[in-house]
Amino acid sequence: ADRREEVDEIGAGDIGAVLGLEAGTGDTICAAERPVVLEKITFPAPVMSVAIKPQSKADQDRMSLALHRLAEEDPTFQVRQDGRTRETVISGMGELHLEVIVDRMKREFKVAAEVGAPQVAYYETITRPVTGEARLKRQTGGHGQYAHVVLELEPLEKGSGFVFEEKLRGAAIPRQYVPAVEAGIRDALEEGMLAKHPLVDIKATLVDGSYHEVDSSDRAFRTAAAMALRDGVTRARPIILEPIMRVEVVAPEECTGDVIGDLSARGGTIVGIGPRANGQHDITAHIPLAAMFGYATSLRSRTQGRGTFSMEFDHYAQVPAETAQELMQRCA
């Protein structure tokens, strides 16, 4: 509209603007004496994410405000902090959508930001039980540092996380140092031995060790416990795990073959194909998350813009040997 007209009321079918209203997209506005709640709008889940960071310290606060405002007005745009990679990750309906968001940040909020692909959250785990042992013995003048820790490590079921147990025999290690041993193990779990990704699904049992009445301390046992875990992990046939996504694609029947070929080329496993109304087909696949970046653009190209997809986390699985080698070389 090229003009504004102030009115006392807005009727059905009219489009207007109201200042100072505390409401969000999808809310129903009605008179207090005649409450009406219309059916909520169902918005599609975001299908693509990228990492974003401010170019300077001055942009940090402005970026937080800008992302909050943009997320408030656009339900298909989401912002989150990745606890693993410590990145601010923005998610939307595709590359173009996110490009528009970044452009609006620059134009409307004067925020200069760098945009890149987020890191995939890989993990590492062990595949066989082993014993890990470490002895810390340092003398640097005055009190030294001494701690000796023996751990039994064993793999757990997927999704079990970390379990610590203490089965000391006799007074090999005073009970006061057990919490420090557990803390040291948790420290070491933050960085695996293959590609420096966190270790998961491991049970560590403290079974033996020794101490010195003068030189032993919490700090010494914490360090020795971390060393013992690393010692065991190196011999426990560690592997790298990657997130596998459940991807559901809806595409025209004539494009089905092309879409399936693309999913397979990305390392996907087709788990279901079924017809839908209006000549559309459902295709369900399990695909590594690392292979899904840029997929929205690829799908549009293969379906002339008529294909849509959604994805959600399904499970973690061992990465192929080639991928593992690449990840290890990257962190070398």
**Are 286 and 323 found together in one domain?**
yes
**Are 141 and 233 found together in one domain?**
yes
**Are 204 and 250 found together in one domain?**
no
List the CATH number of the domain containing 276: 3.30.70.240
**Are 67 and 109 found together in one domain?**
yes
Q: Where are the alpha helices (DSSP H) in 21-75?
A: 57-73
Which residue, 170, 129, 136, 171, is CA-closest to 151?
129
Whether 25 is in a domain gets the answer no
| 122 vs 198: CA distance, rounded Å | 8
Which residue, 128, 150, 85, 121, is CA-closest to 239?
128
Q: What is the pLDDT of residue 94?
A: 67
Whether 34 is in a domain gets the answer no
Q: What is the pLDDT of residue 322?
A: 92
Contact 275, 224 (CB under 8 A): no
**Are 232 and 250 found together in one domain?**
no
| 63 vs 92: CA distance, rounded Å | 17
Contact 226, 184 (CB under 8 A): yes
Q: What is the pLDDT of residue 44?
A: 67
With 0.85 as the threshold, say if the pTM is over it: no
Per-residue pLDDT of the chain (332 residues; tens, 9 = 90+): 577 888 888 887 888 888 877 777 778 888 888 888 888 777 766 766 788 988 888 888 899 899 998 998 888 899 988 766 678 889 887 677 888 999 999 999 999 888 886 667 788 999 999 999 999 998 776 678 999 999 999 999 988 889 999 999 888 899 999 999 999 999 999 889 999 888 999 999 999 999 998 899 999 999 999 999 999 999 999 999 998 889 999 999 999 999 999 999 999 999 999 998 888 899 999 999 888 888 888 999 999 899 999 888 888 899 999 999 999 998 87
**Are 230 and 245 found together in one domain?**
no
| 239 vs 126: CA distance, rounded Å | 6
| 280-316 per-residue burial string, b: 16 or more CB within 10 A, e: under 16 | bbebbbbbbbbbbeebbebbbebbeeebbbebeeeeb
Residue type, 131: T
Contact 310, 108 (CB under 8 A): no
The number of residues making up the chain comes to 332
**Are 55 and 73 found together in one domain?**
yes
Start-to-end Cα distance in the chain:
59
Whether 147 is in a domain gets the answer yes
Q: What is the pLDDT of residue 63?
A: 92
Whether 29 is in a domain gets the answer no
Q: What is the pLDDT of residue 211?
A: 93
- Structural domain including 148 reads 136-237
Domain boundary among 237, 266, 288: 237
**Are 98 and 181 found together in one domain?**
no
Which residue, 166, 170, 171, is CA-closest to 225?
166
Which residue, 199, 205, 200, is CA-closest to 152?
205
Q: What is the pLDDT of residue 174?
A: 93
